[in-house]
Structure 1
Amino acid sequence: MFASWWFDLTNEIMLKSSKSSRGGGHSAWPRNRNEGRVFSVPIDASDRDIGETVLKAFAKCEGPGKSTEPLFP
């Protein structure tokens, strides 16, 4: 999973689900396949809300190969 926050532009944390390769690396999904794999949450949200958003992003990560199953069910 990738996370970013541009503190001088927004208060939203952006979380992007990733896919892993057989070599152990991680990459983002192509823009035409990332629908439902990008999440955001306000930086001032509760720890619970941030944690739930992180878990949602993890649930959309996928393992190596042609996996159709989530890496973190």
Structure 2
Amino acid sequence: MEFFIGFAVVVGVIALYMGSMFLNAKTEVPEECREAYLEAQSCDTCAMRSGICGFKDVLETIRKKEAGQ
């Protein structure tokens, strides 16, 4: 019986994860974040392993916009 309870818990967690991923994929990016989102999607800095990351600048810009509102 304990096996079935453990199995049900694991299946439940997996179902919640898959459901949240499905709902997240259907959510649109807000207009005020669209430019930063597109820039982050085309970022290749991690692949280059150069240590120089422009993504920090994007995050700072977003924070400044949020603080200004």
- TM-score relative to the length of structure 2: 0.30
Structure with max Cα Rg: 2
- Which of the pair has the greater relative contact order for Cα pairs under 8 Å at 6+ separation? 1
- TM-score relative to the length of structure 1: 0.29
**Greater strand share, structure number:** 1
**Greater helix share, structure number:** 2
